[in-house]
Structure 1
Amino acid sequence: MSTHNRNDAVAQTKKSRVASARPEDERLPLGSTIAYGLQHVLTMYGGIIAPPLIIGSAAGLDQGEIGILITACLFMGGLATILQTVGVRWFGSQLPLVQGVSFAGVATMGAIVTSGGGLPAIFGSVIVASLVGLLIAPVFATVIRFFPPVVTGAVITTIGLTLIPVAAMWAMGGDPGADDYGSPANLALAGGTFVVVLLLSKVGVGAVSRLSILLAIVVGTVVAALFGMVDFSAVGDGPFVALPTPFAFGLPTFEIAAIVSMLIVILVTLTETTADILAVGEIVGTKVDAKRIAAGLRADMLSSAVSPVFGSFTQSAFAQNVGLVAISGVRSRFVVTAGGVVLVVLGLLPVLGRAVAAIPAPVLGGAGIVLFGTVAASGIRTLAKVDYRGNMNLIIVASAIGIGMLPIAAPDIYAEMPDWFRTIFDSGISSSAVVAILLNILFNHLRAGNSTGPSVMAAAPPRAVREDQLDALQEGDAFVGGRLVDADGNEVPVVRPGH
C-alpha cells in the first residue's frame, strides 16, 4: 500500500470513529466536569431530600434520625447515579441520568408506616419488589416498539408539565405552612433568579451560558443573603463526617401486603425510568434500544434492592435533570457521573449537605421554571415529528396529556379510589405513559375494527400551494370540474413533471 493510500485509510478510520462516537461519551476538562456535575446536584437536591423528610416525619423520627435517612439517600443516590452513567456489564444505560429516591413510592411507604409496619416493613418490601423488578426488567424493556414519537412526545411533554407545580412551590418558598409562603419577597427572589438565568444564557461565552443555572443559583443565594433570606445557622449542627451504617433502623421485615403494594410502585418506577431514558436519549440525540433500556432498568432495580441496607428507598431517574441536559446542551454522561460523586461526598460529609440545603427554595424555583419548561418544550419538539394525517395520533396525544395533567390540576381527584389505582394514576408521568402506550396499541397496532374512513378525531391533512405556482395564475382563473380555466372559460393546459 502506498504512503498516500495508507494516509487516506488512516484518515478514513479516524472519520468513522468520530462518526460512530456517541454524544454522551464526550469528555470535558475536569474543572468543567465538576462544575456541571454540581449544577445537576443543586437542581435535584430538594427532590432527593424530600422523600426521607416526609417518610421520616411519618415514622415519628427525631431530627437526628431524619438526618441519617437524608445522608443515606444522598449516598445511595450518588452510587446509583455512578452505576447508571458509567455502566458495567448488564447494568447502566450509560446516559446522563441522575438517580435518586423515587417520589412514586412516597404515598405507599407512608401508608406502610402508618399501618404499623414501620421503616423495617418498608425496607423489606423495597428489597423484595426491587428484586422482582430486576428479573422482569429485560421483558419490560421490550416494549420499546410501543414507544414511537407519538408516545414519547406526549410523555416527555407531560413530564415537563407535571414538574411546573414543583417549581411554583419552590418559588413561593417551598414550605406551604410557612408564614412567608407566597410572599412578594419570595416571588421577587424567584423572578430575579429566572431573569439571571435568561441573561446568562444570552452571554456569548459558551461556558457561562451552559453554567447559567448554577451561576444563577449562586447569584440568587448571594442576593438572598444580603436581604437576610438565607439561614446558615444549621450548617454547623451535627457531625462533620458520617459513614452510612447498615440496617441503622433495624433488620427488614417482610409483610405480604406491603410487598404487593410496593410491586405496583416498582412497575410505576419502571415506566417512569423508561420514559426518562427515552426522553434524555431524544435530547442527547443518541440511539436508545431495548438492550440499553434493560441495562438502565437493571441499574435502577439493583440500586433499589441495595438501598434499604443503608437506610434508603427505591431509586429512579430524576426527570428535572433531563431538563438541565436540554437547556445546558452538555450531553456528557461523565458530567453526571461527577454529580454522583458529589452526592456520595455529601452523604459522607453531612456538613456539606446542610450547606447545600441552605439554598433558598425561591432561588431553586426561579431556575426550575426554565428547567422544567425546557422538558415540556422538548416533548413538543418530538410531537412535531408525528404524522397526524388520516390516523388517530391526535387523540392519542390529547388523551395522554389530558389524563397526565388531571392529578396536577386536581390533586385529590383519585382520593376515593383504591390504593393500587392511586399509586399508578396519582403520578402524571406514569398515567400519561400508560394511556399513551395503550391507545397507541389500540389504534396503531390492533388495526382490526379500525374504520376505513377518516375518523372525526383525525387531523385533516394540511393543504399548501407553492408561491411560484400562485405566480402562474391570472385574474379570473378558476378550477371547474377538475380543470383549470381562465376568465374566458378556456382551459389552461397543465404541464406534468418530465414534460
Structure 2
Amino acid sequence: MKLSPGKTFAYGLQHVLTMYGGIIAPPLIIGTAAGLSPEENGLLVACCLFVGGLATLLQTIGIPFFGAQLPLVQGTSFATVSTIVAILNGGGGLPAVFGAVIVAALIGLLVAPFFARINRFFPPVVTGAVITMIGISLIPVAANWAMGGDAKAENYGSLSNIGLAAGTLVLVLLLSKVGNAAISRISILLAIVLGTILAVILGMADFSKVSQGAIFAFPEPLAFGMPVFEIGGIISMTIVMLVILTETTADVLAVGEITGSKIDSRRIANGLRADMASSALAPIFNTFPQSAFAQNVGLVAITGITSRFVVAAGGGILVVLGLLPILGRVVAAVPTPVLGGAGIVLFGTVAASGIRTLSKVKYDGMNLVIVATSIAFGCIPIVKTDFYSGFPTWFETIFHSGISSAAIMAVLLNLLFNEFTFGNTKNASVFSAAPPRMVKQDEVCGLIDGDHFEDGKLIDKQGYEIPVVTPDDYQKIQTGEIQMPLPKLNQAGSGH
C-alpha cells in the first residue's frame, strides 16, 4: 500500500497518539519508585521515546536477521514494571535494573530462534484465543484512561472525565461512519484532536507547561551510572524476557492475520531478535526492555492501513519527540480521558480480530474447551489482580500477564488434545459444540414450492406422498431396473 508523505505522517502520528500514554507510563512509574526528581523523570521519558522510535524503525524496516518487517510499534513493556520495581526495592537502584536488562536481553537474543520454531503450535485455535485475550487485557487500560489515568487525582473517575471519554468515543464512531474513506481511516486521530479541543473548551486540558524546559536535548548515555550485574535481578528479568517473547510472538501472529502476511518461524525469529537487540541496547540510553505494543494492533485492524512504512513514520516521530522534549510535552498534554475514549474502540477491535480468527476453528473434539479454558485462564489476573500474590515471584511475573497466561494455556491444551492424540475419545467431547445443521445442495434440488413433511413423510402441496428412496433404488429407477412407486394421497394430509 503506497501512501503520500502527508498521509504517511498523519497515520504515523495516529499510531504515536494511540500508544503515547502507554509508552510514557512505565518510565514515570519506575522513576517514582526510584525516587527520581522531576527532571530525572523527564530524562527517563525522553529516553523511552527515543529508544522506542529506534526500535520501531528496526522492527518495521528491518536489517538482515533483525525485524519482522510488519506494522508493529515498539515501546517499553508493561510486563517489566513489577519486576523492575522489585529490583529497585531490593536496593540495587537503576544501575542494577539496567544490568539485569542487558544480560536478560542477550539471553533472549540467543533463544529467539528456538522460541520461534514453536510457530507450528500456534494454529487458529491458539492464535484466536491469544489475540482475543490481547484485546480483553487492554480494556482495563482504556477504562483507567477514561477515568483520568491517575488514581490519586481528585477527579479520577469523575463524570466529567468519563463524559469526555464518551464524547471522544462518539466522535470515533461518527467519523468512522462518514462516506469519505480518507476521513474514516484517520477517525482515531481526528477524534483525539477534536476531543482535545473539547477538553480545552471545558477547561479539562492544560498546555501551560509546554513552554517549560528545553526545546532540544539528546539523551545522555549512562546518565545514572554504569550498569551493575546482580544474579537475582538477572534471573527475574530473564523470566520477564520469556514473557515478552511470548507476547511479541502473539502480536506478530495477530498483525500477520490482520494484514494477510505470511508468518513463518523465520519471520517470527527476526521480530524476536529485533525485540531483544533493542532491549539490550536500551539501558545504554537509560531505558527499559522493548516489546510490540498490542494497542497499535487494533489501530492497524480498524483503519485497514497495513503499511509498515506508516508505522516506521510513527517510529521517526517518536525519535524526534525524544530529541525535542517540547513536542513531547505537547503530545503529553492530550487529556487521558480522550485517549481512553479512543482506546475502547481500538482495544475492542483487537478482541474482535481474535474472534474472527476463532470463526475459522472447527469446534469438534476439544477445541471448544481449549478456547474456553484459555480465555478464562487469561482473564483471571485481569479480574482479580492479586490472584497470584501468594505464588513465587517468578510464577507471578509470568502469569500476572493475561496475554502470557492465555498463550501458555492455549499452547499446552492444543498439545494435549490436538498434537498428542493418544487416548483421545473417538466421539465428540461433552465440551464440544454441537455441529450446525446443514443439508447438501443435491438433497434439496428436487423439492418444489409446497413440499413439506408430515408424520415423517414428504408430502407435496396436493397432499400426495413423495416416495423417499435410497441412492441405490434411485439409480435403479433411473435405469429402469425397478418401477417408480405410484404416488398416493396421504390420509393425514387429505383434509388440507
Q: Identify whether the pair has TM-score above 0.5, normalized to the shorter chain.
A: yes
For 2:383 and 2:71, locate their aligned partners in 1 and report how far apart those are by CA, in whole Å.
30
What residue is the counterpart of 1:241 in the other structure? Answer: 216
Does 2:61 match 1:77? no
For 1:400 and 1:42, locate their aligned partners in 2 and report how far apart those are by CA, in whole Å.
31
The equivalent position to 2:396 in structure 1, one of 406, 422, 433, is: 422
What residue is the counterpart of 2:372 in the other structure? Answer: 398
Once the 2 structures are TM-superposed, how far is the Cα of residue 248 of structure 1 from its aligned partner? 0.3
Does the 8 Å CA contact 2:47/2:285 hold for their aligned counterparts? yes
- Give 1:493's aligned amino acid: V
The equivalent position to 1:448 in structure 2, one of 422, 425, 448, is: 422
For 2:178 and 2:150, locate their aligned partners in 1 and report how far apart those are by CA, in whole Å.
34
Does 2:198 match 1:229? no
Once the 2 structures are TM-superposed, how far is the Cα of residue 388 of structure 1 from its aligned partner? 0.7
Relative distance call for 1:64 and 1:444 in structure 2 (3 A) is same
For 2:456 and 2:430, locate their aligned partners in 1 and report how far apart those are by CA, in whole Å.
30
What residue is the counterpart of 2:89 in the other structure? Answer: 114
For 1:449 and 1:367, locate their aligned partners in 2 and report how far apart those are by CA, in whole Å.
48
For 1:296 and 1:44, locate their aligned partners in 2 and report how far apart those are by CA, in whole Å.
19
For 1:357 and 1:474, locate their aligned partners in 2 and report how far apart those are by CA, in whole Å.
68
Does the 8 Å CA contact 2:167/2:341 hold for their aligned counterparts? yes
In the alignment of these two chains, the number of paired residues is: 469
Does 2:381 match 1:411? no
For 1:408 and 1:320, locate their aligned partners in 2 and report how far apart those are by CA, in whole Å.
16
Once the 2 structures are TM-superposed, how far is the Cα of residue 445 of structure 1 from its aligned partner? 0.5
Once the 2 structures are TM-superposed, how far is the Cα of residue 191 of structure 1 from its aligned partner? 0.7
Does the 8 Å CA contact 1:91/1:299 hold for their aligned counterparts? yes
Does 2:68 match 1:93? yes
Does the 8 Å CA contact 1:264/1:424 hold for their aligned counterparts? yes
Relative distance call for 1:58 and 1:464 in structure 2 (3 A) is same
For 1:276 and 1:62, locate their aligned partners in 2 and report how far apart those are by CA, in whole Å.
35
Structure 1: stretches of 5+ with no match in the other structure: 1-25
Once the 2 structures are TM-superposed, how far is the Cα of residue 184 of structure 1 from its aligned partner? 1.1
Residues 95-144 of structure 1: CA deviation (Å, up to 9, x unaligned): 00000000111000000001101100110000000001001101000000
Does 2:239 match 1:261? no
For 1:454 and 1:335, locate their aligned partners in 2 and report how far apart those are by CA, in whole Å.
47
For 1:475 and 1:436, locate their aligned partners in 2 and report how far apart those are by CA, in whole Å.
45
State which drifts further: 247-256 or 454-463: 454-463
Does the 8 Å CA contact 1:84/1:296 hold for their aligned counterparts? yes
What residue is the counterpart of 1:493 in the other structure? Answer: 469
Once the 2 structures are TM-superposed, how far is the Cα of residue 464 of structure 1 from its aligned partner? 2.2
Does 2:22 match 1:47? yes
Once the 2 structures are TM-superposed, how far is the Cα of residue 488 of structure 1 from its aligned partner? 9.1
Does the 8 Å CA contact 1:78/1:341 hold for their aligned counterparts? yes
What is the TM-score when the length of structure 1 is the normalising length? 0.91
Structure 2: stretches of 5+ with no match in the other structure: 479-496
Relative distance call for 1:344 and 1:387 in structure 2 (3 A) is same
SS at match of 1:229: coil
Does the 8 Å CA contact 2:83/2:237 hold for their aligned counterparts? yes
What residue is the counterpart of 2:79 in the other structure? Answer: 104
Does the 8 Å CA contact 1:478/1:485 hold for their aligned counterparts? no
What residue is the counterpart of 1:280 in the other structure? Answer: 255
What residue is the counterpart of 1:33 in the other structure? Answer: 8
The equivalent position to 1:147 in structure 2, one of 122, 129, 140, is: 122
Which is higher, the Rg of structure 1 or of structure 2? 2
Once the 2 structures are TM-superposed, how far is the Cα of residue 52 of structure 1 from its aligned partner? 0.4
Matches within 5 A, 1:132-281: 132-281=107-256
SS at match of 1:224: helix
Residues 168-196 of structure 1: CA deviation (Å, up to 9, x unaligned): 11111111111111111111111111011
Once the 2 structures are TM-superposed, how far is the Cα of residue 462 of structure 1 from its aligned partner? 1.7
For 1:362 and 1:300, locate their aligned partners in 2 and report how far apart those are by CA, in whole Å.
30
RMSD between superposed Cα atoms in Å: 1.8
What residue is the counterpart of 1:474 in the other structure? Answer: 452
Does the 8 Å CA contact 2:453/2:459 hold for their aligned counterparts? no
% same residue: 64
Does 2:349 match 1:384? no
State which drifts further: 455-464 or 197-206: 455-464
State which drifts further: 208-217 or 458-467: 458-467
- Give 1:218's aligned amino acid: V
Does 2:276 match 1:301? yes
SS at match of 1:316: strand
Once the 2 structures are TM-superposed, how far is the Cα of residue 460 of structure 1 from its aligned partner? 2.2
Does 2:337 match 1:359? no
Relative distance call for 1:41 and 1:475 in structure 2 (3 A) is closer
- Give 1:454's aligned amino acid: A
- Give 1:48's aligned amino acid: I
Once the 2 structures are TM-superposed, how far is the Cα of residue 485 of structure 1 from its aligned partner? 9.2
Does the 8 Å CA contact 1:279/1:322 hold for their aligned counterparts? yes
